[in-house]
Structure 1
């Protein structure tokens, strides 16, 4: 099937235009596919997501989105004004109001059912992330984009959140694009992994990337063994990315 989003030769510069963030990146995500982007801090992960969503100008290349594409987005972080009362129910109706039934059903789907009247500031970190996910799912997206969605969660919370993402994909059929630094669990929920460090260092199945020398140069030789503990098994096929073809030019930043 045709890609939901496809990028060709994508190049991004930092403000001022004197430093390259990403160079000549090709990207595609197919319907129903879970793709995870990994890389060290400063490698361009979040910049790639913003460019794909049309929120960042390109120095070169192009991004094509399927006509009528609906995208649900869970941001890297969201600052709450603790002086302003805001219930979960009210939050779910921003910026577009949804029915009480739809809000209740979506909260149940993400594991926080019955919390409509709770204040956002009274939620735990894990509960808040699930509410953000519920908000992203309200309008039946074709593509769910998660930018470092588990920051601030402990290890059990991280594993539980990624298990939830697998369940959501299975229930809705939505494709999922994740940016993650959670190397211990990223393989569990991924069909394909893209490793960035200013360019695409390597790309392919989780098993392929975890053994690639470019990946191990960035994350250490112990990464292969820990990631192997969380290999994801599935019974469907996706168009896999090409094997590693370019060596990394830099270590972790």
Structure 2
């Protein structure tokens, strides 16, 4: 995975709050999403991850705070899973057409991009878990998005398929230069597949590069992971150094630089 570079923001959230009745679901959430940067939201069940994404998508309006979005921002959304009545005949081709007014060439290009070029005429009911996730990703790409929003993108996929999908997401980011926002419960793989982590439990507990976050006391307390156990959560081999925000420090600056503002 490429290391994050300086890129302009796509979305900025500043002190966003949202209540459901008496339940303060989002508490003073401030974060940014950047072009070319993979950002992953992690947190326990009920922490407000899905609610935060719905706010970012514009499906929910916060009670207070501000949300800035780049002009004419296009977002491609990949849901966690899709339930379709098995008695309803639906091919991949017809399913893709429900997302965007697209032609055959555009659909085939999107399928090629996700490694599913032979599935256009297949019934979605006959797809494996990994194939279905690729089709959902292709559907999101048909919008030619500036930002991809992926809700549990490896849901229902075996370990080898998960690795392939995370590598695919990184490649799409590299080739298209889009930003990526993921929600994930899977700490073991996602921490090696992202540039920036936002750990929430209704509020932002900690954020930054995965190496920084996994050593944050808030992360340790929230997930009950201590000391050497963190090595099982995040493994990333490299020959460079990061500052605490996760930005790569050029080799000549290793000895003198401890802060470098990057994209995330």
Normalised by the length of structure 2, the TM-score is 0.85
> What is the rounded CA distance, in whole Å, between the counterparts of 2:100 and 2:202 in structure 1?
36
- Superposed, 1:1-253 pairs within 5 Å as 1-14=7-20, 17-222=21-226, 223-230=229-236, 239=262
- Deviation at residue 196 of structure 1 after TM alignment: 0.4
* Structure 1 unmatched runs, 5+: 242-253
- Deviation at residue 111 of structure 1 after TM alignment: 0.9
Q: Aligned pair count?
A: 239
Please give the per-residue CA displacement for 1:88-130, whole angstroms capped at 9, x wherever unaligned: 0111111433111111121111011111110001000110000
SS state at 1:211 partner:
coil
Q: State whether residues 42 and 200 of structure 2, in contact with CA within 8 Å, keep that contact through their aligned partners in structure 1.
A: yes
> What is the rounded CA distance, in whole Å, between the counterparts of 1:136 and 1:108 in structure 2?
14
Please give the per-residue CA displacement for 1:51-86, whole angstroms capped at 9, x wherever unaligned: 011111212112111110010000122211211111
Q: Which residue is 2:258 aligned to?
A: none
Runs of at least 4 residues off by over 4 Å: 230-238
> What is the rounded CA distance, in whole Å, between the counterparts of 1:2 and 1:69 in structure 2?
13
> What is the rounded CA distance, in whole Å, between the counterparts of 2:178 and 2:160 in structure 1?
25
> What is the rounded CA distance, in whole Å, between the counterparts of 2:239 and 2:112 in structure 1?
26
Distance 1:123 1:233, change over 3 A: farther
RMSD, aligned α-carbons? 2.0
Please give the per-residue CA displacement for 1:11-67, whole angstroms capped at 9, x wherever unaligned: 1112xx211111000011111111001000000111110001111121211211111
> What is the rounded CA distance, in whole Å, between the counterparts of 1:149 and 1:232 in structure 2?
26
- Deviation at residue 234 of structure 1 after TM alignment: 9.2
SS state at 1:89 partner:
helix
> What is the rounded CA distance, in whole Å, between the counterparts of 2:240 and 2:143 in structure 1?
27
Distance 1:78 1:229, change over 3 A: same
Normalised by the length of structure 1, the TM-score is 0.89
> What is the rounded CA distance, in whole Å, between the counterparts of 2:120 and 2:240 in structure 1?
34
- Deviation at residue 230 of structure 1 after TM alignment: 4.3
